[in-house]
Amino acid sequence: MGHGARIGDGTIAYTIVVGRPEGKRPLGRPRRRWEDNVTMDLQEAGYGDMDWIALTQDKDRWRALVNVVMNIRVS
C-alpha cells in the first residue's frame, strides 16, 4: 500500500491503490475499495483522522503505523 501511494499520480499502481471506479455501478451497496479498507483499519486503530496517503511519504512513520495496526488485528 505504501509503495503504491508513494509512486505518485499518473501511474497504474497509484490508480489501483486510490482509484475511483468509473461508469455506471450496479444496484446495491457500493463495492468496497482497497483504500476504504485501509481507512477502516486506521479508524479501528484510532488514527481515523489521519491522511494516510501523505503519511506513506515517510517510510519509517508509515512502517510504524502499519505495525501498530497489524498488532491490533492479530490480538
Residue ranges per structural domain of the chain: 2-74
Mean pLDDT for each 10-residue chunk of the chain (75 residues)? 70 72 75 81 80 84 84 67
Closest of 42, 43, 49, 46 to residue 2, by C-alpha: 42
**pTM for this one?**
0.53
**Cell numbers linked to 45:** 486503530
* Burial of residue 56, with CB atoms counted within 10 A of its CB: 0-12 exposed, 13-18 middle, 19 or more buried: buried
Provide the pLDDT for residue 74: 65
Provide the pLDDT for residue 73: 63
Provide the pLDDT for residue 75: 57
